[in-house]
Amino acid sequence: MAFQNFEIIAGDAKSKVILHVPHSATFIPEEVREHILLSDLELKAELDEMTDTFTEAVALKAAEISGTKPWLFINNFSRLVIDPERFPDDREAMNAVGMGAVYQKTSIGTQLRNPDPILENQLLDAYFHPYAKALSDLVAQRFAALGDVTLIDVHSYRVNQHPNAINHGQIRPPICIGTDPFHTPEWLTKAAESAFSIIGENYLNQPYSGTYVPLDFYKKEAKINSIMMETRADTFLTDELKIHAGFESVSKALAQLIDLIQLR
Mean per-residue pLDDT, 211-232? 96
d(CA 208, CA 13): 32
**pLDDT category of residue 264 using cuts at 50, 70 and 90:** confident
User: Pairing between strand 149-157 and 6-9?
Assistant: unpaired
pTM of the model: 0.96
Which of 54-58, 89-93, 108-112 comes out lowest in average pLDDT? Answer: 89-93
* Average pLDDT over every residue of 101-129: 96
The string of pLDDT tens digits covering residues 192-201 is 999 999 999 9
Rounded distance between C-alpha atoms, residue 19 and residue 21, angstroms: 6
CA distance 45 to 6: 24
What is the model's pLDDT at position 5? 93
Quick check: 126 pLDDT over 60? Answer: yes
**Coil/strand/helix, residue 71:** strand
Amino acid 2: pLDDT: 55
**Across residues 155-180, what is the average pLDDT?**
92
Residue 98 Rama label (left phi>0; alpha psi -120 to 50; beta): left
| pLDDT score, position 158 | 95
Confirm if 111 and 104 have CB atoms less than 8 A apart.
yes
Supply the DSSP symbol for 128. Answer: I
Q: With 80 as the cut, is the pLDDT of residue 48 above it?
A: yes
Nearest Cα to Cα of residue 253 among 224, 232, 226, 238: 232
Average pLDDT over residues 143-168: 93
- Whether 11 has a pLDDT exceeding 60, the answer reads yes
Q: What is the mean pLDDT of the chain?
A: 96
Q: What is the pLDDT of residue 216?
A: 94
Residue 1 pLDDT: 38
Strands 175-178 and 224-232: antiparallel
Q: What is the pLDDT of residue 169?
A: 81
